[in-house]
Amino acid sequence: MKFTDAIDGYARHLQVERGYSAQTVRAYRSDLASLAAFAAGRDTDDTAALSLELLRDWLWEGAQRELAKATLARRSAAARGFSAWLTRASGEQSDPAARLRAPRPDKTLPRVITRAQMDELLAGLAARADDGDPGALRDLTVIELLYATGIRVSELTGLDVDDVDLDRLTVRVLGKGAKERVVPFGVPARTILRRYLGDARPALAADRSGPALLLGARGGRLGSRAVYDLVAGLLQEIPGAGPAGPHTLRHTAATHLLDGGADLRAVQEILGHASLGTTQIYTHVSTERLKESYRLAHPRA
């Protein structure tokens, strides 16, 4: 099978049968296109030439170009999944990528902002929304929901009005792999949501709004890019390492939950992590914050 045909088939498999997001499918396509180009450089465009040696050489070539370990690890995962799918489709017994390994990604602690910084950020947004401006109320709702629930930006922009239960203080979220979960939020978020639904959303709504909860300036569903730009703009003045996008608020929510004594498995459920190991990184963040408090406060630190 030609690499291009195989990659198209595997992408459909990931999207339709595995329920992967469009973003993840694009990333896998990009990785496998790189593999196909590498194979073409060795005068082959057929997946029959796929071998452990070829895959190792491809990863080695990426390492020589100083690709990040996380990128190499993702490439390795893409190649293993692709090869396994090809093996099943062809009925072969041996999977050439079964023993493929990549460097373990560097473990970096996610960026988290303090409770005082979060309170200041929300207070500033609330002040801007005091006059009832629909866009300002919408922006406040976006930030309040991201922080109150810890949901992903794609989950936030995918919310419909009926997904929010103001009486039970919960929101129904469609997460990765089309898995649905119910996430709680607090009274402050409910207060803002009531204002948004009562005043801002009707002012922003248009014929194209449909059931979308959060609306853009033209009345359509608010996009992920707009949310990223909003959060990045708000966080750029707050000191701290790492990127300043919507995921910062997800990291912050998880860390503040653990700082407040929340059970790790409860945080896993709230965030929608398939593995507890993914959630455990936030325990390291909390420990680092504890150490920093100790270093600043203890006379013999």
CB-CB neighbours of 218 under 10 Å = 9
13 carries an active-site annotation: no
176 carries an active-site annotation: yes
10 carries an active-site annotation: no
Q: What 3-state class would DSSP assign to 36?
A: helix
| Residue in 28, 147, 196, 282 annotated catalytic | 282
| Residue in 74, 80, 138, 152 annotated catalytic | 152
Contact 86, 50 (CB under 8 A): yes
298 carries an active-site annotation: no
3-state helix, strand, coil in the chain (%, to 5): 60, 5, 35
Handedness of CA 262, 256, 177, 77 (dihedral sign): negative
Q: What is the dihedral of CA 27, 183, 117, 199, to 10 degrees?
A: 100
| Residue in 221, 250, 251, 256 annotated catalytic | 250
152 carries an active-site annotation: yes
Tokens of 201: 């959303």
Q: What angle in degrees, to the nearest 10, is found between the helix axes of 247-259 and 115-128? A: 130
| Residue in 13, 176, 181, 195 annotated catalytic | 176
Measure the CA–CA gap between 43 and 49, rounded to whole angstroms. Answer: 10
Contact 174, 180 (CB under 8 A): yes
Q: What 3-state class would DSSP assign to 282?
A: helix
284 carries an active-site annotation: no
The residues carrying an active-site annotation are 152, 176, 247, 250, 273, 282
